[in-house]
């Protein structure tokens, strides 16, 4: 996730608007930043690796001036965090900033290389600048050339472009990535989100997918890709600056919970073919996995819970045995590994000390190493032999939400990938599995609609002091994760158990003061068993919140206290759906209790100490 910005209007304001706006967008990524300003008919481009403060120093030293400019703050996806990969990317007189992923960039890059274009970065974005320049050289005006380029790219994007051939326009478009316009007095703005422009304007237009906007000093025109005029409402924003940073949500955690359909989609994007059933991971060498006959997954906290689910996925799909270790334990138990073992380190931040050290321990003992992480070029990503990035975008809330669901989809795709390498999957089977994955973002959207109902439920339950979460099969780690979410942000004691373990101890805890969350997607065998657990809880007067995809479960009203009905999905992907209501439940209980949801006591987002 990156932040983009554009401005046209007043020469004395351009630099200030861009730098102030980027400061407010910096939470979207801080690997590098850059701006381009058209001055005296030519683009002046400034870029810096690292924090925005470096760019500010550079820009102030050269004091560029111009009526219009674009800016970018980067969260690396294609190409490492370096100055050469920082935006804007330039081709001839065209400068481009982009947030998202261009899926067909390799194909376009090869085509443009054949035409003689030289590439200076490893990014997917650079193709956009060359495509536009190519068409301008072919005789089209800037606007038509931009449109022609937008028509050729596939993937998710919010883009802003300027050209020294037409230095009175900023052109922008979006698809699956946010982009807003803002109207000023003889000046106009564009940005990835509202907070970036809030000090300058409160009149905002939300662009829709496929819109192309041309911003001039006194006008904004919005068309579809074919140039047909489209009308979009101007909305007056009355948020205060802090809530604006959270896009109107009260907390980052809630914003991130609601970002999950997009985050999961971005993590899948460009990584499979629906026709062949093949799965690809950029930069990953398939030969690493040919001899692997055993996997150990190493992680902490929420990433550990994702790994427990990953075990189910890999064993079921690729038929390779998986052990899951808590990273801090693995390091000190002299694990037995060899060169046929694959160690997978799983970490949102890629900087967790325990996981990082566990990965090095595995490497030192001869294992092949892979990591699943959300942060480009993080320590774990640098140390592992191979990397799979989740594309969740920066996660700011301490309680991990979108990082978890994107780790699950990454594990699922990796299981198919490995299954194909190990010849455990037919083409037909993998096509079917990919289809199941494609349906997930929409199922998450549907599940998020339960928010209002879960808020009511939280109101009834927030005064309890203990909770028990029970799940079975692939959803038993969801009991752990649901309990972890509740305890870390609401400070309520919560335990997660595999439901079958209840009779071996935890059942002693059950009475009318113990709400029990039963996670029971309507899958065959384990569902029947969990109905048995339900009766055991009821017999001891426990309060039951029953989470299921079985529409018939409504008949259980009277036996259970509350039913949360989630949409049905395939068994292996059901944890991605069942965790959503539990994230919401923890969130609403915490807000009723009035705790600090985004920065709960005693916790840190990145744990870099042992
Ligand atoms: O960055 P990592 O995924 O390595 O972090 C691991 C844990 O510290 C993290 O998941 C922690 O448990 C979260 N606060 C859970 O919400």
Q: Are 302 and 350 in contact (CB under 8 A)?
A: no
Indicate if 211 and 267 belong to the same structural domain: no
Query: Which residue owns the Cα nearest ligand 1 atom 7?
Result: 301
- How far is Cα 305 from Cα 576, in angstroms, rounded to an integer? 12
pLDDT for residue 343: 98
Write down the pLDDT at residue 62.
92
Mutate which of 607, 608, 609, 610 for ligand 1? The one with the most ligand atoms within 8 Å of its CB, which is 607
Residue 523 has pLDDT above 80, yes or no: no
Answer yes or no: is 599 within a domain: no
Which CATH number goes with the domain that contains 468? Answer: 3.40.50.10490
By most ligand atoms within 8 Å of CB, the mutation choice from 298, 300, 484 for ligand 1 is 300
Q: Do 221 and 252 have their domain in common?
A: no
Domain presence at residue 311: yes
Read off the pLDDT band of 274 (50, 70, 90). very high
473 and 413 share a domain?
Answer: no
Range of the domain at 425: 246-438
Residues 173 and 308 in one domain: no
**CATH code, domain with 102:** 3.60.20.10
How do residues 180-207 score in pLDDT, each as one tens digit? 999 999 999 999 988 788 889 989 998 9
User: Does residue 212 share a domain with residue 93?
Assistant: yes
Choice from 257, 297, 301 to test ligand 1 binding pocket (greatest atom count within 8 A of CB): 301
Task: Give domain status of residue 605, yes or no.
Answer: no
Query: Measured between alpha carbons, how far is 569 from 268 in angstroms, rounded to an integer?
Result: 17
- Looking at 391, 420, 438, which one is the last position of a domain? 438
Confidence of residue 242 (pLDDT cuts 50, 70, 90): low
Q: Could you please report the per-residue DSSP string of 485-524? A: HHHHHH--EEEEEEGGGGGGTGGGG-STT-EEEEEE-S-H
C-alpha of residue 25 to centroid of ligand 1, in Å? 24
Do residues 250 and 233 share a domain? Answer: no
Q: How far is CA 499 from CA 476, 530, 574, in A?
A: 7, 7, 17
CA of 300 to the centre of ligand 1 (A): 6
**Same domain (yes/no): 257, 236:** no
Same domain, 237 and 260: no
- In order of 33, 54, 442, 519, the CA distances from 82 in angstroms are 10, 13, 35, 45
Q: Are residues 330 and 385 in the same domain?
A: yes
* Ligand 1 centroid distance, CA of 68 (Å): 42
Q: Give the residue from 191, 214, 243 where a domain finishes.
A: 243
In a domain, residue 357? The reply is yes
Domain boundary among 243, 266, 298: 243
CA distances from 167 to 131, 216, 394 (A): 18, 10, 34
User: Which of 279, 190, 205 has its CA nearest to residue 236?
Assistant: 205
Domain assignment present for residue 378? The answer is yes
pLDDT digits (tens, 9 = 90+) for 444-497: 999 999 999 999 999 999 999 999 999 999 999 999 999 999 999 999 999 999
* Ligand 1 atom closest to Cα of residue 605: 14
Residues with CB under 6 Å of ligand 1 are 300-303, 347-349, 352, 355, 398-400, 484, 488, 603, 607
**Both 268 and 360 in a single domain?**
yes
Same domain assignment for residues 412 and 396: yes
The alpha carbon of 48 and the centre of ligand 1 are apart by a number of angstroms equal to: 30
| Residue 548 counted as domain residue | yes
Could you tell me if 300 and 349 are in contact, meaning their C-beta atoms sit under 8 angstroms apart?
no
The protein residue whose alpha carbon is closest to atom 9 in ligand 1 is: 301
Model pLDDT for residues 89-139, shown as the tens digit of each residue = 999 999 999 998 898 999 999 999 999 999 999 999 999 999 999 999 989
The pLDDT of residue 521: 87
User: Are 266 and 411 within one domain?
Assistant: yes
Is residue 371 among the annotated active site residues?
Answer: no
Instruction: Please report whether residue 212 resides in a domain.
Output: yes
Cβ atoms 500, 527 nearer than 8 A: no
- What is the Å distance from ligand 1's center to 392 Cα? 14
Q: Is 463 a catalytic residue?
A: no
Report yes or no on 74 lying in a domain. yes
CB 33 within 8 A of CB 20: no
**Count of domains observed in the chain:** 3
Tell me the C-alpha distance between 70 and 43, whole Å: 10
Per-residue model confidence (pLDDT) at position 238: 67
Average pLDDT of the segment spanning 358-383: 92
Task: Give the C-alpha separation, 354 to 604, whole Å.
Answer: 14
Q: Confidence class of residue 30 from pLDDT cuts 50, 70 and 90?
A: confident
């Amino acid at each position: 996730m990156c932040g983009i910005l554009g401005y046209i209007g007043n020469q004395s304001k351009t630099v200030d608007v861009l730098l102030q706006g980027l400061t407010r967008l910096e939470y979207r990524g801080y690997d590098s930043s850059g701006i381009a300003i058209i001055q005296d008919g030519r683009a002046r481009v400034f870029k810096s690796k690292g924090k925005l403060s470096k760019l500010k120093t550079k820009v102030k030293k050269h004091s560029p001036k111009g009526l219009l400019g674009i800016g970018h703050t980067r969260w690396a996806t294609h190409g490492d965090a370096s100055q050469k990969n920082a935006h804007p990317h330039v081709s001839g007189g065209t400068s481009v900033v982009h947030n998202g992923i261009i899926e067909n960039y390799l194909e376009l890059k090869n085509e443009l290389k054949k035409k003689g274009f030289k590439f200076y970065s490893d990014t997917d974005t650079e193709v956009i600048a060359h495509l536009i320049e190519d068409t301008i050289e072919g005789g089209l005006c800037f606007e038509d050339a931009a449109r022609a380029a937008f028509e050729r790219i596939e993937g998710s994007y919010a883009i802003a472009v300027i050209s020294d051939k037409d230095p009175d326009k900023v052109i922008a478009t979006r698809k699956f990535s946010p982009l807003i316009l803002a109207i000023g007095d003889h000046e106009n703005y564009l940005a990835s989100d509202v907070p970036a422009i809030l000090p300058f304007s409160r009149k905002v237009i939300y662009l829709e997918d496929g819109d192309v906007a041309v911003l001039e000093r006194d006008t904004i025109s919005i068309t579809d890709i074919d140039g047909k005029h489209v009308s979009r409402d101007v909305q007056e924003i009355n948020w205060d600056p802090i809530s604006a940073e959270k896009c109107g949500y009260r907390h980052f955690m809630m914003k991130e919970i609601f970002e999950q359909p997009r985050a999961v989609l971005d993590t899948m994007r460009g990584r499979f073919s629906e026709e062949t059933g093949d799965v690809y991971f950029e930069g990953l060498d398939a030969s690493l996995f040919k001899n692997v006959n055993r996997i150990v997954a190493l992680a902490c906290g929420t990433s550990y819970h994702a790994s427990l689910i990953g075990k189910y996925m890999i064993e079921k799909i690729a038929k390779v045995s998986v052990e899951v270790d808590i990273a801090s334990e693995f390091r000190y138990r002299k694990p037995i590994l060899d060169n046929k073992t694959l160690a997978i380190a799983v970490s949102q931040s890629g900087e967790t000390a325990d996981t990082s050290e566990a990965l090095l321990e595995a490497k030192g003992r001869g294992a092949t190493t892979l990591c699943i992480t959300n942060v480009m070029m993080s320590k774990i990503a640098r140390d592992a032999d191979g990397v799979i990035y989740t594309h969740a975008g920066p996660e700011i809330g301490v309680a991990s939400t979108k990082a978890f669901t994107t780790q699950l989809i990454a594990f699922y795709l990796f299981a198919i990938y490995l299954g194909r390498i190990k010849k455990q999957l037919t083409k037909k089977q993998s096509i079917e599995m990919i289809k199941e994955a494609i349906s997930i973002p929409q199922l998450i959207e549907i599940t998020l609609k339960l928010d209002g109902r879960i808020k009511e439920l939280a109101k009834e339950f927030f005064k309890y002091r203990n909770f028990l979460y029970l799940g079975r099969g692939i959803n038993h780690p969801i009991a752990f994760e649901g309990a972890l979410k509740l305890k870390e942000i609401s400070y309520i004691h919560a335990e997660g158990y595999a439901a079958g373990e209840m009779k071996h101890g935890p059942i002693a805890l059950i009475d009318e003061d113990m709400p029990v969350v039963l996670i029971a997607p309507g899958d065959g065998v384990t569902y029947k068993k969990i109905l048995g657990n339900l009766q055991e809880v009821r017999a001891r007067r426990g309060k039951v919140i029953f989470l299921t995809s079985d529409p018939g479960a409504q008949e259980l009203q009277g036996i259970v206290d509350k039913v949360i009905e989630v949409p049905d999905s395939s068994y292996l992907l059901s944890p991605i759906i069942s965790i959503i209501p539990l994230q919401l439940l923890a969130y609403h209980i915490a807000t009723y209790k009035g705790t600090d949801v985004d920065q709960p006591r005693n916790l840190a987002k990145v744990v870099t100490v042992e």
